[in-house]
Amino acid sequence: MRKNISVLSLIFFLALLFSCGLDVYYFIEPPINSSAIQNPTDPAQQFFTFTTQDSINTDTGIVGNVKFLGTQVYYKIYDDLDILLKQKNQIDSVNSEYSENGYNKLLSLNFQKLNSNPYSDPLIKKSSTNSNQKITIVLQENSYNQPSIEVDDTKIGIPLRYDLSTFDTTSGNGFSGEDTEEKTDSSEKSENYYVLLYAVSVGSVNLSQRVYSSILSLGYLEI
């Protein structure tokens, strides 16, 4: 009788343990080698660059049922550089290795996915050769560059905002919308706008749930 009670107790304990479950963490490496620009005034330097981590993420991507998909870029437009720098500090302070804290902070501050023409999801798809890729992003035309997204010096598309409009400001109307942080105490449109970019590696679990790496700051630029 005592033996039967012990067996039943063990079964109950194991059932309770597995029903409660344990937290599962999925690890994916972030992009590297950011240009981390800080509002360069030289038009020849007004672009963003970074390197994807396809090689290591593809090698380890099946661990924990994570499939590496590629790399996404998020952005936000500001009409006040001080607000941009304040929010950048908030994001960087919570961004930590093997954590989605930085990514979640981007979403809470209403950062938007950088779109492209032609459309791609994620923005930079995993390399077919599982090799790291050098990415260059030019948002606006200037005397040196045309708007473009380049992978290993080959143009793959044109960068677009969340609503599929361009980053062109020649109309003189400035920026507004879900991707723009505007000063609440100003009744007039600003003449100066800035954009802040971050990159993040993207994977999927069981073909449905997406997982994200820590984020990489690409810097900011007046547009």
How far is it, in rounded angstroms, from Cα 132 to Cα 30?
12
Checking if the pLDDT of 8 tops 60, the result is no
Answering whether pTM is above 0.75, one says yes
Going by C-alpha positions, the residue among 105, 118, 185 that lies closest to residue 156 is 118
Cβ neighbors of 199 (< 8 A, separation 6 or more) are 30, 31, 34, 50, 71, 72, 73, 74, 135, 215, 216, 218
Q: How do the domains of the chain map onto residue ranges?
A: 28-222
The SS3 of residue 103 is helix
| Closest by Cα among 42, 54, 77, 74 to 151 | 54
Give the model confidence (pLDDT) of 68-86 as tens digits: 999 999 999 999 999 999 9
pLDDT (tens digit per residue) in 162-220? 999 999 876 556 788 899 998 765 556 667 899 999 999 999 988 788 999 999 999 99
**Cα–Cα dist 65/68, whole Å:** 10
Q: How far is 91 from 94, CA to CA, in rounded Å?
A: 6
